[in-house]
Amino acid sequence: MQAIATVIGADLGGFADEFGACFEESLFTFFHDVPPVFDWVNGLRGNPIRKCIPQICCGRKGICANPGLKRAKSSFLVGEGSMQVFIAEDNYYELEILRRQVQSWGSRHGGVSITAVQCVAEVGPADLRTYDAVFLDVELPGKDGFAFAQELRGAGCSADIVFVTNHPELSLKGYTVHAQDYIIKPVEQERIDAAMDYIARNCRLKERRSIVLQRGISQQDRYFLTEILYVEASNHSSIVYTYDKTQSYALTFAQMEKLLPAEDFKKCHRGYIVNLHAVKGLRRNSITLVDGREILVSTTYFQSVKDALIALRGGQ
């Protein structure tokens, strides 16, 4: 600890003991790369330690005001594992605690990759489509956690969302975006473990699966299953619809149905197969998708689709 204090030009004395092991690990975590240190220091506004290292902030005003996901990936990516977790918490100390708790779970379950930021104003919701879990503080600068969660669902992100907040009275709002959990601060390790256990059971394996479709003689297209909104029958071929493109393949509708896992995709009409994770609303004769598009659902398949959606969302 003293070596780090010497490097940054300030004797921190017994501050590390007072701040605890979390503070010490924070320095080790962020000191390897200069930009994260600037973010860390700017996150300490109002904290006595900030005046110990004023030289670090020279010429880097507001670096943490709008940390986009692209930058966050390079600066805050911690660990490598099969699950991807995004954390947004404006209080840097609480952000670090939450990161440590998720990382602790990951160390016991094969590892996790964590992206952690203090605000989401410049984070593109579409960039989080392949993430397994999103932990959001409700009170974020510029754009609150609920607003960002709605954007995530609108962009087709099917990650499990967990809200972390000081306000238990707001918990009902989480249901509007199908939040998996609502954790009240201070956050205990046991609550994070329970949330991550649930997420792992529901998301870890299926989110990483993909299919490869042959297009023409030599072209192959790979899709993550979470990218596909629905498939439409077209004569003797099938059309795949994603969030940002449409592509036709020389596969019959029956062949395509066999390729797509039944627990994630359901036939809702003689001419449509829908991704259950992309369904925002279900009516008697139509399905509304997370991006606002609508497709048909027939009387024959309505009940099976409804039952599958209820099962997918834990009976809600």
What local confidence, expressed as pLDDT, does residue 43 receive? 44
What local confidence, expressed as pLDDT, does residue 168 receive? 76
- Start-to-end CA span in the chain (Å): 50
Band of residue 70 on the pLDDT scale cut at 50, 70, 90 = very low
CA distances from 142 to 69, 139, 145, 306 (A): 15, 9, 10, 37
Report whether pLDDT(51) > 60.
Answer: no
Q: How far apart are CA 65 and CA 118, in angstroms?
A: 8
Band of residue 47 on the pLDDT scale cut at 50, 70, 90 = very low
Q: Which CATH architecture is the domain 65-207 placed in? A: 3-Layer(aba) Sandwich (3.40)
Instruction: Locate the domains of the chain by residue range.
Output: 1-63, 65-207, 209-312
| Look-up of token digits 């042959």 | 214
Sheet of strand 294-296, all strands in order from the earlier edge strand to the far edge: 279-282, 286-289, 294-296
In terms of Cα–Cα distance, which of 289, 221, 217, 211 is closest to 255?
211
Which of 48-52, 56-60, 226-230, 303-307 shows the highest mean pLDDT? 303-307
Write out the two tokens for 285: 């004769």
Q: pLDDT, tens digit, for every residue of 204-221?
A: 555 567 888 998 888 888
What local confidence, expressed as pLDDT, does residue 81 receive? 53
295: left (phi over 0), alpha (psi -120 to 50) or beta: beta
Write out the two tokens for 61: 């005003």
Band of residue 96 on the pLDDT scale cut at 50, 70, 90 = very high
Stated as kind and residue range, the H or E segment containing 82 is: none
The pair phi, psi for residue 191, each rounded to 5°, is -70, -40
Percent of the chain whose pLDDT exceeds 90 = 40
Is the pTM higher than 0.75? The answer reads: no
Superfamily of chain region 209-312: LytTr DNA-binding domain (2.40.50.1020)
Q: pLDDT, tens digit, for every residue of 102-139?
A: 999 999 988 899 999 998 988 988 788 778 899 999 88
Write out the two tokens for 86: 């995004």
Average pLDDT, the chain: 75
In terms of Cα–Cα distance, which of 81, 101, 97 is closest to 89?
97
Mode of pairing for the β-strands spanning 279-282 and 246-249: unpaired
